[in-house]
Copies of this chain bind each other. A is one copy, B any other.
Amino acid sequence: MDHTVLHDLPLFNGFSSDELKDVIKKASLFRVEKGAYFYHQEDPADRAFVLLKGRVKLSQLTPDGQKIILRIAAPVQVFAIVAVLPAKEYPVSAEAIEDCEALSWSQNELQIISTAYPIFTSNAMDLMARYLQDFQTLFLQLATERVEQRLARILLRLHDLIGLDTEDGIFLDMPLTRQELAEMCGTTLSTVSRLLSSWEKNAIVRSGRAKVFIKDILALKAIADY
């Protein structure tokens, strides 16, 4: 395993090449196929991951079975960082929505890394603080914006995360159903479908079965910031 994959991760900020090699030596490689889970909500949080290949859907279930998607992780991103803390549970479930590969460290190994490299702890905390802030922003948007704006924002975020330029516009390189988009913005399949249809009429997007192209990103931004 090439240590350079970790090089630009904020979590390993301040690590030298040798240190990264050492950290990688401690890692295990996990393969999880499409549809399977890395872990489930409320399992004891005993492993953290760095995604190398595929996409992971991080979602949470309500007591009555509704789901919301909190985040989609793409390579090369960290997830389940909560595992650095002892005696926690995973707050979300992590499902592979494509065939995935990830590096993983057990809580024990994370403990060892923390002790050997004190900066690791503060990097982890920094990461957590960033998530916290992202959440506050999301929360604010959910509380104050209409579905239309929220969906536009989500497409824009996906654009940054996984947008691919094609002659048909910017392709969002991930199989996303209407249902999943709905779970990302706290609404229903029908509403998402209606919005995408109406945007398609205005040549803002083009969308089909589990795929979306963005044709007019400025219009989308205008909707988001309306």
Report whether over half of chain A's contact residues are helix, strand or loop; otherwise say mixed. helix
Residues of A in contact with B, size category = 20 to 34
Residues of B within 8 A of A133 (CB): 91
Interface centre among A121, A139, A143 (most CB of B within 10 A): A143
Residues of B within 8 A of A202 (CB): none
Residues of B within 8 A of A143 (CB): 68, 142, 186
Q: Is A144 an interface residue (CB 8 A)?
A: yes
Q: How many copies does the complex hold?
A: 2
A 114-170 contacts with B by CB, 8 A: 121-122, 124-126, 128-129, 131-133, 135-136, 138-140, 142-144
Residues of B within 8 A of A60 (CB): 136, 140
- Shortest CB-to-CB span from A176 to chain B, Å, is 18
Task: State the CA gap A60–B128 with chains docked (Å).
Answer: 19
